[in-house]
Structure 1
């Protein structure tokens, strides 16, 4: 019988014996452990809702492209690669100030309980100038898109968002922000089946308490360093319970999520998104080396 109680030594010994898992602190049940050395692992482009015609898609989504596997190629030193393999997942924006791109992985859950998202990531602008360019990436971040089951009462669609605002209009901000409001819900098509809303529009971001943090951003535009993040959330209460980035643990008591009425075909939804935005007419890159989603159920 496999030991699953994290308070017991055998559980910890099993985690520590696997180098790809020992970098994480998962809850007892690992839902997904994505190592992009083995492929896309189910991550795809966030396509906006449409009906009959692609032009019914909201403009914010029309700019999105597919995530890709990348060796982190650099003109000056060849390929950087991931933390312990040749590949990472690359989310790249278009070269237009304010442009964004989003990758998504879609799950459902089987019980409402605590979940934990952990990942190693880094960000850089496209290295097409011989200077540091540390303010060219506007932001990188992640979100959950969640909805309870059809047997739950009082169900809402809940979307916790967190982003690292690196720069805005050329000013170095370096702080964590969350969002509790979305764009207006809009009907798509004529059959009254589909709604859409641009929840990643640039409005309504708020600073997380103690938001400021300086991340490692190396001395030339082609050097990267991997950053650890951990986000804890309770599917039962639909509340955030913790957030950590590298050595900093943040207070989430004031954190809140976007909350909108449940949608009729999204029961037990457990989706994860990562996104990047550029602050200049230069592509911004968010790289994911690997991630682990775990739960206590």
Structure 2
């Protein structure tokens, strides 16, 4: 039974669209503002130009009513505002919105969200292959009491919608580590761009045709659920809409623990464009819950 974790009819309705674990870590409805979601800024020292190019392209997420030229404002599932993550209008451009947290106990966590995606509607055609991908990731690290076995673990999942104009429509994950680059001269800061285009692997049975409405200004919301065990650092469940996928072959990107990121619990959503047109991923609401 879902616990009665919040009071009031509006709060109960906001929570009832999710299936959370007993403890709500955050319940973000963007009618209330940014709720702690922000730009993924790359590491730098002394000079902003020290930032890796992948991070330098990122910009801040925006609150949006999903305005369009033909119908005005679309709005969210049950309100006016959503969180909008927009790429630059350059094929292969990416953008990321992140929420930075820490955990109090290494137990099960569950990410749930209502998400949709569209390219910028600047042409009178469907444009269904203009978005390359959208997805989400965690950036996690164990406790400072974990000893030498602690790792920084980064589960990545993306929906590869299209590649070079071809409609692909499948879920992928990433476990291939990328080069770690020192930043500055004080041996305090490093960086790695883990959303680089190489290293993605197909999720077993991960093909899925998502709802993409008949003109480029219409959107339909998709439900996503991703369960992860912080003790074992393993994914235990992934679902999109009515489909529950086999995650037995899923693994995360793993690198040695960083000296200042203990108990890190960061979550991010990202978008990538396949054409010289902006790609948008919209978040109506996000629920992160745990069993601890």
Asked whether the 8 Å contact 1:159–1:258 carries over to 2, the reply is yes
Q: Following TM superposition, by how much is the alpha carbon of 1:181 offset from its aligned partner in structure 2, in angstroms?
A: 1.2
Can you list the C-alpha shifts for 1:142-194, whole angstroms capped at 9, x where unaligned? 00000011111210000000000000000000000000013200000000000
Alignment correspondent of 1:89: 83
The aligned residue for residue 246 of structure 1 is: 241
> Is 1:295 paired with 2:290?
yes
Q: More deviation in 17-26 or 116-125? A: 17-26
**Structure 2 match to 1:3:** none
TM-score when normalising by structure 2: 0.97
TM-score (norm 1): 0.95
Equivalent positions of 1:67-86 (< 5 A) are 67-86=61-80
Q: 2:50 aligns with which of 44, 56, 64?
A: 56
1:233 to 228, 233, 236: 228
> 2-side partners of 1:290 and 1:120: how far apart?
6
Residue 194 of structure 2 corresponds to residue 199 of structure 1: yes
Matches of residues 252-267 of structure 1 in structure 2 within 5 Å? 252-267=247-262
RMSD: 1.3
Whole-angstrom CA distance in 2 between matches of 1:257 and 1:37: 32
Distance 1:223 1:101, change over 3 A: same
| Secondary structure at the counterpart of residue 230 of structure 1 | strand
Is contact 1:182-1:200 (8 Å) kept?
Answer: no
Q: Distance in 2 between matches of 1:88 and 1:120?
A: 10
Tell me the residue number matched to 2:34: 40
Aligned counterparts of 1:248 and 1:141: Cα–Cα separation in 2:
16
State how far apart, in whole Å, the 2-side matches of 1:148 and 1:55 are: 31
Out of 138, 144, 160, the position equivalent to 1:144 is: 138
Mapped to 1, the partners of 2:81 and 2:120 lie a distance apart of: 17
- What is residue 122 of structure 1 aligned with on the other side? 116
Runs of 4+ in structure 1 off by over 4 angstroms are 12-17
The number of residues matched between the two structures is 289
Q: Any unmatched runs of 5+ in structure 1?
A: 1-5
